[in-house]
Amino acid sequence: MKFTPLFLLLWLCSTLAMATDLPSRIEIKYAVTTDIGEGEIDEVMEIKHIEGKAHYSINSKAQATGMYKLIEPNSIIRHSEGFITQKGLRPVRAYEKRGQKKPSVAEFDWKNHVITLHHQGHHAKEVMPDDTLDRLSMSYNFMFTSLPKHHVDCYIANGDTLQLSRYTITKEMLDTPIGKMETVVLTRQEEKHSKLKRKLWLALNNHMLPVRIVSVEDNGREIDKMVAEVNISYKKEH
């Protein structure tokens, strides 16, 4: 088997990640910069072993800070939960709630390969491909599975849609408030003339954690999430 230097490193890191004990809890704080103000995000991932299966849950809370809070007083709550498999995360339920609005919910039926999407009072069922994730679980998925050589293809549940996304893979040394990090960069390939954007930096030497995410959303708002603090626990379960 022949490896380029980058993918040899990716392969070694993924092998080591599978060989070591999984963390039981990961806490990440992000500083957020947007085109109209600043904010912060607190994310917590918990891993538990129940009846021989590894379960995960991720909770994320985003809120504006400073003067921006006067414009955007409501927080954004995201949640994803499910199982950890050899192929990565397999969510069973995910939701996003913005302020007082009803949450958008995705329910994953892996037995029948059907996803049910609840969004703004509407409900839709779609056939669900094997590599389906929500946006939150996608950010943490490569803690548990190796990256392909050239690009990542996956289906992402987001609001009322299930979309196929392709990410190219590159490598970059990233300066962060907690030090320089060697990262793998996933860049989503958008349609020509599209204003949408999504790019993730995953820390090679720290469980492939998402340490920076840059996106341009449907409303045109640009968001840059940069890691500010990471805490990892390896508590043994009895």
Residue 4: pLDDT band (50, 70, 90) is very low
Higher pLDDT, 160 or 24: 24
Higher pLDDT, 72 or 238: 72
Q: Does 117 have pLDDT greater than 50? A: yes
Q: Does 19 have pLDDT greater than 50? A: no
> What pLDDT does residue 208 have?
95
Mean pLDDT, rounded, for 41-62: 95
Q: Does 2 have pLDDT greater than 50? A: no
Higher pLDDT, 9 or 109: 109
Residue 55: pLDDT band (50, 70, 90) is very high
Of 89-93, 117-121, 228-232, which gets the smallest average pLDDT?
A: 117-121
Across 41-55, 145-159, 216-230, the highest mean pLDDT is recorded for 41-55
Residue 221: pLDDT band (50, 70, 90) is confident
pTM metric for this prediction: 0.86
Q: Does 182 have pLDDT greater than 80? A: yes
Percentage of the chain modeled with pLDDT above 70:
90
Q: Does 6 have pLDDT greater than 50? A: no
Q: Does 220 have pLDDT greater than 80? A: no
Mean pLDDT, rounded, for 165-188: 96
Q: Does 30 have pLDDT greater than 60? A: yes
Q: Does 44 have pLDDT greater than 90? A: yes
3-state secondary structure the chain: CCCCHHHHHHHHHHHHHHHCCCCCEEEEEEEEEECCCEEEEEEEEEEEEECCEEEEEEEEEEEECCCHHHHCCCCEEEEEEEEEECCEEEEEEEEEEECCCCCEEEEEECCCCEEEEEECCEEEEEECCCCEEEHHHHHHHHHCCCCCCCEEEEEEEECCEEEEEEEEEEEEEEEECCEEEEEEEEEECCCCCCCCEEEEEEECCCCCCEEEEEEECCCCCEEEEEEEEEEEECCCCC
Mean confidence (pLDDT) of the chain: 87
> What pLDDT does residue 186 have?
97
Q: Does 167 have pLDDT greater than 90? A: yes
